């Protein structure tokens, strides 16, 4: 009850504080007339350090007072004690096991708690001890008086059993003409403790070895253990049940309508006369599902081979709808309200071609993009990407109208690495705000990039990382523009401990423009820092050097980074505390003598099936007089990075 009360007090206080700041923001934004006492209460929004601190506190409170823990008083809760040899090796894991039993007991109530959990506890402890090789362990229980909910288990593990012998045999009717691993090459050795986890690991090791070195229509591996209690030994035998040798025959599909069979066949990466392996069929099915074109991809494999040893592979397919319409809303204090409207066709010509049209606009910029993506272009690991982009942008530094076309070849280099190169031609009309000068500029760039991406989810990453290396030479076309080279390196990492609701996310980027002085770099091609997706708390492009009119100058280099603590406190809700930092520099490399600009804040996430809805409020840590606002609000779809 105390935990629940503390929880309510803290949340109520935070709610009052949050609403106070929201009303303060509304009053300041719309310059509403209020009575003096109202103005006094709502006139001072949170400081950035307070905002970040509150976010961290909320997360810590939720971690400490987790909803998964019952709010029952300690007097009512079941308590399990363990008595075992002082330094025994199983003491620590058994203590963890009993803690889990206590947690379950708080949730799962019975009419006779102590008797029920005495029986359940004995069973769980015996099972655990056997899995660790203690087959003659004894577990006795002692229940305290009626007025207390305490159970004490007295454990005597006794001697640990070891493996007296390890063997491999074939089941009746198994294919005997196959290659199997030698007993001596297995990780599990004779004389080692009989631990269940090691036994199942070795069973998997044998299965993987046999499948890798043979072409089998079917394969399974099981084991049998004979326990000798007198000698405290365990004899272990693995049984291999192997089907006939086989090779892949014709790969066909049933249920295809708008998707060409040749494209579906390329997706599977299965070829006639290829060695048949169950793992290859599973991988092929996974690739079909990952394409997003199919609702169901069930393979059918005959139980016998043809006379030539081949076996046909038939996928029973249910196609998905290939067209979809996308829409979204966004808001930023600096950029105003924004909207996105998109349409895509994922099978434009029947070979998995993607055609996508996106229209995005807010108060500062409007963008129209058309993209065409052709998979398996000239080779199975290569993709062709064609693009058209029209952009109208108004910032404090410049007004920019641009049209661009691009073509890229992208190749899969390994499981996670991709690389590519291409060409981009752009023609722009630019007006500088500093002197109202106008110019027309045509640029040809030849980008080269390498990307490694192990993230589990692009819009809501919880594990993995991403690394991007990008560089491109730029050449002026029919202008006096000097050539220059632009490069960026960026990365992000996500850490989530097992069974934790806390995700720690990091992001960092650095970039440089080489070959020309700052004055010779086109103003729209310079680096700018600040705003959502960059350093939050500062207005769009404003985290850097400014001119006398307080307009951003941009830079030839930049550096920025972010730290986020993301706590998923309910099924569809989460809280975030974040800290950003960065700056744009006029020099070709970051000048760390100039202090970085930092922002901090808190956010709320509502998790949908597609992506989280994001609301953040950020504050500049060192507000520049007459330049920075007291806060910035951001609203959008997906995590900030």
Reduce the secondary structure of 611-639 to three states and give it as a string.
CEEEEEEEEECCCCCCCCCCCEEEEEECC
Q: Which residue, 156, 172, 194, sits at the end of a domain? A: 156
Whether residue 186 sits in one domain with residue 252:
no
Whether residue 619 sits in one domain with residue 564:
yes
Position 64 in a domain? no
Position 285 in a domain? yes
Q: Which residue has the tokens 């308590």?
A: 79
Whether residue 461 sits in one domain with residue 356:
yes
DSSP conformation letters of 325-384: EEEEEEEETTTEEEEEEEEEES-TTSS--EEEEEEEE-SSEEEEEEEEEESSSSSTTEEE
Whether residue 456 sits in one domain with residue 443:
yes
Q: Which residue, 138, 156, 174, sits at the end of a domain? A: 156
Number of Cβ within a 10 Å radius of residue 589: 12
Number of domains in the chain: 4
List pLDDT tens digits, range 13-34.
444 455 445 445 444 544 444 4
Q: Please report the sign of the dihedral spanned by the C-alpha atoms of residue 565, residue 568, residue 569, residue 573.
A: positive
Tokens of 266: 């390329």
Position 34 in a domain? no
Number of Cβ within a 10 Å radius of residue 407: 13
Whether residue 429 sits in one domain with residue 516:
yes
For the cut 60, the answer to whether the pLDDT of residue 381 exceeds it is yes
SS3 state of residue 296: strand
Position 215 in a domain? yes
Distance, in Å, from the CA atom of 251 to the CA atom of 21, rounded to the nearest integer, reads: 63
Mean pLDDT of 38-50: 47
Position 197 in a domain? yes
The domain that holds 503 is classified in CATH as 2.40.160.50
Is 380 within 8 Å of 269 (Cβ atoms)? yes
CB-facing half-sphere around the CA of 211: CA atoms within 13 A? 17
Position 49 in a domain? no
- The gap from C-alpha 110 to its chain's centroid, in whole angstroms, comes to 40
Mean pLDDT of 191-214: 96
Position 272 in a domain? yes
The domain that holds 186 is classified in CATH as 3.10.20.310
Question: pLDDT class for 121, splitting at 50, 70, 90?
Answer: confident
Mean pLDDT of 232-240: 96
Whether residue 631 sits in one domain with residue 532:
yes
Distance, in Å, from the CA atom of 194 to the CA atom of 236, rounded to the nearest integer, reads: 9
Whether residue 207 sits in one domain with residue 251:
no
What is the reported pTM? 0.76
Whether residue 302 sits in one domain with residue 350:
no
Q: Which residue, 198, 222, 242, sits at the end of a domain? A: 242
pLDDT of 99 reads: 79
Domain enclosing residue 185, as ranges: 162-242
Whether residue 167 sits in one domain with residue 129:
no
The domain that holds 130 is classified in CATH as 3.10.20
Position 24 in a domain? no
Q: Which residues contact 258 (CB under 8 A, 6 or more apart)?
A: 319, 322, 347, 350
Whether residue 456 sits in one domain with residue 332:
yes
Q: Which residue has the tokens 């934790």?
A: 500
List pLDDT tens digits, range 595-604.
899 999 999 9
């Amino acid at each position: 009850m105390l935990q629940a009360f503390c929880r309510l007090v803290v949340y109520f206080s935070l709610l009052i504080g949050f609403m106070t700041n929201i009303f303060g923001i509304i009053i300041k934004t719309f310059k509403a007339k209020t009575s003096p006492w109202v103005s006094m209460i709502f006139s001072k929004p949170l400081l950035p350090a307070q905002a970040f601190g509150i976010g961290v506190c909320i997360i810590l409170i939720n971690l400490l007072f987790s909803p998964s823990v019952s709010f029952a008083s300690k007097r009512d809760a079941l308590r399990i004690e363990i008595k075992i040899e002082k330094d025994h090796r199983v003491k620590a894991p058994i203590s963890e096991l009993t803690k889990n039993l206590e947690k379950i007991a708080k949730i799962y109530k019975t009419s006779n708690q102590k008797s029920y959990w005495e029986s359940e506890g004995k069973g769980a402890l015996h099972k655990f001890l056997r899995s660790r090789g203690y087959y003659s362990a004894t577990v006795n229980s002692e229940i305290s008086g009626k007025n207390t909910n305490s159970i004490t288990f007295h454990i005597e593990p006794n001697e640990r059993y070891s493996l007296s012998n390890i063997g491999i045999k074939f089941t009746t009717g198994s294919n005997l003409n196959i290659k199997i691993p030698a007993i001596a090459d297995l990780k599990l050795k004779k004389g080692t403790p009989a631990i269940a986890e090691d036994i199942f690991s070795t069973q998997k090791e044998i299965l993987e070895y046999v499948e890798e070195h043979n072409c089998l229509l079917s394969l399974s591996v099981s084991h049998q253990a004979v326990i000798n209690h007198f000698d405290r030994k365990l004899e272990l035998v693995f049984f291999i049940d192997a089907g006939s040798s086989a090779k892949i025959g014709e790969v066909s599909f049933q249920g295809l309508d708008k998707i060409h069979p040749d494209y579906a066949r390329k997706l599977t990466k299965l070829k006639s006369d290829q060695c048949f392996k169950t793992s290859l069929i599973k991988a092929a099915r996974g690739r079909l599902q990952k394409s997003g074109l199919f609702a169901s991809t069930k393979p059918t494999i005959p139980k016998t081979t043809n006379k030539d040893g081949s076996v046909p592979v038939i996928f029973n397919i249910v196609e998905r709808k290939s067209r979809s319409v996308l829409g979204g809303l966004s808001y930023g204090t600096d950029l105003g309200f924004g909207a996105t409207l998109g349409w895509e066709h994922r099978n434009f010509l029947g070979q998995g071609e993607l055609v996508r049209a996106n229209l995005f606009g807010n108060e500062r910029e409007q963008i129209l993009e058309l993209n065409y993506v052709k998979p398996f272009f000239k080779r199975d690991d290569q993709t062709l990407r064609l693009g058209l982009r029209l952009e109208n942008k108004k910032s404090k530094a410049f007004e920019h109208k641009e049209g661009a076309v691009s073509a890229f070849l992208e190749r899969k280099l390994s499981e996670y690495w991709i690389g590519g190169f291409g060409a981009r031609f752009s023609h722009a009309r630019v007006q500088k705000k500093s002197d109202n000068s106008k110019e027309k500029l045509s640029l040809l760039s030849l980008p080269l990039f390498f990307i490694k991406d192990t993230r589990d989810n692009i819009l809501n990453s919880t594990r993995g990382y991403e690394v991007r290396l990008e560089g491109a030479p730029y050449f002026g076309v029919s202008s006096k523009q000097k050539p220059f080279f632009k490069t960026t390196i960026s990365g992000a990492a996500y850490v989530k401990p097992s069974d934790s609701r806390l995700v720690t996310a990091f992001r960092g980027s650095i970039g440089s423009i080489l070959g020309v002085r700052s004055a010779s770099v086109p103003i729209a091609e310079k680096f700018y820092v600040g705003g959502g997706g960059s350093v939050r708390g500062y207005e769009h492009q404003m985290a850097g050097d400014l001119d006398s009119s307080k307009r951003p100058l941009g830079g030839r280099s930049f550096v920025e980074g972010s730290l986020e603590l993301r706590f998923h406190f309910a099924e569809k809700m989460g809280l975030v505390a974040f800290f950003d930092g960065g700056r744009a520099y006029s020099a070709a490399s970051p000048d760390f003598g100039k202090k970085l600009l930092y922002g901090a804040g808190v956010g709320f996430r509502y998790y949908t099936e597609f992506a989280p809805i994001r609301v953040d409020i950020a504050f500049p840590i060192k507000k520049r007089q007459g330049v920075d606002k007291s806060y910035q609000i951001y609203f959008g779809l997906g995590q900030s990075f």
